[in-house]
Amino acid sequence: MASSSHKRAIIGIILVIIGSIFLLDNLGFNIEIPYYLFSWPAILVVLGIVNLLSGNSRAAMILIGLGAVFYLHHFDVINIRTFWPVILIVIGLSVILRKKPTVKKITEADDNYFDEVAIFGGTEKKYISDNLQGGKVTNIFGGSEIDLRGSKAQDGAVIEIFCMFGGVELMLPEDWKVNMGATAIFGGFSDSRKSISSNATSTVHIKGFVIFGGGEIRN
């Protein structure tokens, strides 16, 4: 199973390569781009493989399946206009045949730095650290719930957020002073803690971007 840092690196490298090739083509370098390698279906398939390596098999199958459908349509094997209702049928059957959800076990860790990535999926993690130095949360069409209420933060710790068409929920202790520095574009990020202590033990900085998404701090 790929770690969060490896997953982030793979996604970044793929996007840089694809973006560079399309940019060169737009600038008039006449690069012949094979459709099956550089297209939206290809991006869906690659994201599906990344999710499969990270253990999110359900999201992986959806992404790879969508990519395969667009490929088949492009090569005139099927016509999406004719067969798109099949997608609704499959979704309906998955709802009917879905197994009864079991009690979800939240994963705990004592790392002093966290790096969580969710793409077309979700993560739920609890960190118990005596010297939390900060962390990163990256969500693209996904969501994360990070519980830090059992941790003691280093004064000045920085939590970096990047959410695009996704959301993040941070659960922080009431004795942490939060310095909000996240920029929201067509989205929002708020501190919704019901009680905040006036005697802060440490100051935590929230930085990053939220694009077509949202973030919330709770306790």
| Residue 139, C-beta contacts closer than 8 angstroms, at least 6 positions apart | 117, 118, 119, 162, 163, 164, 166, 167, 168, 213
What contacts 175, CB < 8 A, 6 or more positions away? 197, 199, 200, 201
Taking the domains of the chain in order of start, what are their residue ranges? 4-96, 107-218
Q: Which whole-number Å values give the CA distances from 97 to 88, 91, 92, 195, in the listed order?
A: 14, 10, 9, 42
pLDDT tens, position by position, 136-194: 888 877 788 888 888 888 888 888 888 877 788 888 888 888 888 777 777 777 777 76
Q: In what order do the strands lie in the sheet with 214-218?
A: 107-109, 122-127, 143-147, 167-171, 214-218, 188-191
Is the pLDDT at 36 greater than 70? The verdict is no
Separation between Cα atoms, residue 168 and residue 172, nearest integer Å: 13
| E-assigned strand segments in 71-131 | 107-109, 113-119, 122-127
The pTM of the full predicted model, rounded to 2 decimals, is: 0.57
Measured CA to CA, the distance from residue 127 to residue 124 in angstroms comes to: 10
Return the SS3 of 2: coil
The model's pLDDT over 42-72, given as tens digits with 9 standing for 90+, comes to 777 877 777 676 666 666 777 777 788 888 8
Q: Are 141 and 166 in contact (CB under 8 A)?
A: yes
Distance of CA 147 to CAs 35, 109, 125, 139, 144, Å? Answer: 43, 10, 6, 16, 10
